[in-house]
Amino acid sequence: MLLYKDEYQCWLENAVEDDLHSLLRKMSQEEIEDAFYKNLAFGTGGLRGTIGAGTNRMNVYTVAKASQGLADYLVKKFSRPSVVIGFDSRIKSDVFARTAASVFAANGVLTHLWPHLNPVPTVSFAVRYLSASAGIMITASHNPSKYNGYKVYGEDGCQITTKAAAEILGEIEKLDIFIDVKRLDFDAAVSEGKITYISEDVLTAFVENVKNQSVLFGEKVNRDAAIVYSPLNGTGLIPVTRTLKEMGYTNITLVEEQRLPDGAFPTCPYPNPEIREAMALGLEYARRCNADLLLATDPDCDRVGIAVKDDRGEYVLLSGNETGLLLLDYICSQRAKHHKMPDNPVMVKTIVTMDLAERIAADYGVRAVNVLTGFKYIGEQIGFLEQAKKTDSFVFGFEESYGYLSGSYVRDKDAVAGAFLICEMFSYYAAHGSSIWEKLQELFSRYGYCLNTLHSYEFDGPAGFEKMKNIMRRFHEEAGPGKTLASLGGKKILKVLDYSQGLSGLPKSDVLKYLLEGNCAAVIRPSGTEPKLKVYISVSAKTKAEAQEVERKVVGDVERVLR
Angle between helix 356-363 and helix 436-447 axes, rounded to 10 deg: 90
Q: Which of 82, 141, 145, 435 is catalytic?
A: 141
Beta bridge partners of 315: 309
Sort residue 89 into left (φ over 0), alpha (ψ -120 to 50) or beta.
alpha
Phi first, then psi: what are they for 512, rounded to 5°? -120, 130
Say if residues 36 and 54 touch (Cβ distance below 8 Å): yes
Residue 479, helix vs strand vs coil:
strand
Total residues found in the chain within this entry: 563
222-252 burial, b at 16+ Cβ within 10 Å, e below that, comes to ebebebbbbbbbbbbbbbbbbbbeebebeeb
- The strand pair at 394-399 and 346-350 is best described as parallel
Contacts of 171 (CB under 8 A, 6+ apart): 68, 69, 70, 72, 73
Sort residue 512 into left (φ over 0), alpha (ψ -120 to 50) or beta.
beta
Q: Which helix (H) or strand (E) holds 317?
A: strand 315-318
Return d(Cα 378, Cα 213) in angstroms, integer. Answer: 18
Pure H helices in 299-414: 320-337, 356-363, 375-387
**What amino acid is encoded at 80 in this protein?**
R
Return d(Cα 298, Cα 236) in angstroms, integer. Answer: 8
Return d(Cα 257, Cα 267) in angstroms, integer. Answer: 7
319 tagged catalytic: no
Say if residues 156 and 411 touch (Cβ distance below 8 Å): yes
- Active-site annotation, residues: 141
